[in-house]
Each structure stands twice: as C-alpha cells, then as structure tokens.
Structure 1
Amino acid sequence: MSTSIQPRECSIADALGLVGERWTLQAVRELTHGVHCFDRIVRNTGASRDILTARLRKLEAAGAVRREQYNVHPPRYEYHLTPAGGELGDVLLTLMKWGDRHLNPEDPPVRWQHSCGEAARKGAHSPTGRGVLTAE
C-alpha cells in the first residue's frame, strides 16, 4: 500500500511560490528604491532580461506590481508596486536586518538613512517624522 505525502497547506509556502525565486525580491527592492525602468532594474540586480521579465510578469499577475506603458514606439514600460507589493518592503527590511546581524555583522553592505539625514536604526520611521527611507 502506497501512502502519498501531502505537503502542509501554508501561507508561507504560497508567498514563497511568488517571491521565493531568485531575483524576485531584488526586483522588489529596486522598485521600493524608486527604480521603475526595466533596464535599470536589470543593471541594479544583475538578473538576465528574460528572467527579470518572467519575475515581473509573475508579480504583476499576482497583483503586487503594475506595469505602465510610457513609450509606444518602441513599446516601453515602467513597473510600480501596488499597495500589496509595497507591503513586501517590510519583508525586505526584515531580511536586511537579519543579513546585517548574521551574515555581515562587522560591515553591513547597505546603510539606511532618511532623506532628512537621520540614520535609520530601529524601524523605517524618521526620528523627525519628515524623512523618507533611502540607501546610502
């Protein structure tokens, strides 16, 4: 008698099905930094054009990204996070903090600061309440 193993149903597994492939969260990272042009996302992530296209289309199909045409001939698009996609920013910050603490404790590769000039320490809110989070 053969017993088939059924994986546990889980929202984490479902979310990883969308964002767990290589390059997906890096594309989201670029969008959170205000990089919307496909060529700049390619350059900043190092992903190949065909793989990045597939990742962005998957995010778009899931409602995390919207694509806006800004040029007709040739067709060119910008990519923007939807409110659902913007919530992935919390995931990125958590991953960054974990990586800084456990993988790069002596010299984290990215230091965050608010546009008001204050360093970001615990959380994404500016101490002055006027800043926007940016990478140095």
Structure 2
Amino acid sequence: MKWTELDENWCPVARTLTLVGDRWTLLILRDCFLGRSKFEEFAETTGATRHILSSRLKRLVTAGVLERRPYQDRPKRHEYVLTEKGREFGPALIAFRDWGKKHMPVRRTATATKE
C-alpha cells in the first residue's frame, strides 16, 4: 500500500503518518517549535537536501500546518511559522521527545584523559 492511499484510511494514526511519517518532516516541526523559521536554518539543523526540504515544507503549508510568510523582498525570502493546527501537534512532539529521552538515551563513550 502506498502512503498516499493511507490518507483516507479509517485509522487516524495512518492518516497522520501520511503527513508527518518521515524523519525530515518531524525534524522540521521540531525546529519550528524551537523557534526556527527559515529555510537555511532547517537545512542546517536537519541535514535534509534542499529538494527534500522544499518538498516537505510545501506539504506542511498545503496541509495548513505551517504558514509561508515573506520576510525579505530582495532577494525574495520566506519564513515558515506554525499555524494553530501546527501548534496543536506540540504534545505529540513532546511525547516523541520524552519517549526518546527515556528509551533511547545518548550513549557516549568515555574518553581517556591525558595526564
């Protein structure tokens, strides 16, 4: 079954995954909640290619999760800000964060110190 076929699925989890079910989209949303709003910021923090980033931002705008607003005329630049619908995703993102902190902690190897 293709992702696009799930957007009318009976299951709300499946329908939600058609919009936010990939790492790039979730990282963009994370960045929005952290106060980032510009394409270059998303590119730097997510590691997504420009093509993928553009595609995901367009999808989030079309879905009404983000709003695209001009912030500079020359050259023309836009920022992406959460709509009310987008802000309502906050608790889900917090649940992802909290689950990750608890069940997938960062494991750093100890480094030897030179004396």
- Using the size of structure 1 for normalisation, the TM-score is 0.69
Q: How many residues get paired?
A: 101
Q: Distance in 1 between matches of 2:63 and 2:56?
A: 11
**Structure 2 unmatched runs, 5+:** 1-5, 109-115
Which residues in structure 2 correspond to 1:116-135 (within 5 Å)? none
User: Deviations for 1:48-88, whole angstroms, at most 9, x for unmatched residues?
Assistant: 11101110110100000000011222210000000110111
Following TM superposition, where does structure 1 have runs of at least 4 consecutive aligned residues deviating by more than 6 angstroms?
Answer: none
Q: Do structure 1's residue 54 and structure 2's residue 55 form an aligned pair?
A: yes
Q: How much identity, in percent, do the aligned residues show? A: 39
Residue 82 of structure 1 corresponds to which residue in structure 2? 83
Superposition pairs for residues 105-120 of structure 1, below 5 Å? none
Task: Tell me the TM-score normalized by structure 2.
Answer: 0.81
**How far apart are the structure 1 equivalents of 2:76 and 2:50?**
15
Greater helix content? 2
> Paired residue for 1:15?
16
Measured on the aligned residues, the alpha-carbon RMSD in Å equals 1.7
| Change in CA separation of 1:23 and 1:105 when aligned onto 2, cut-off 3 Å | closer
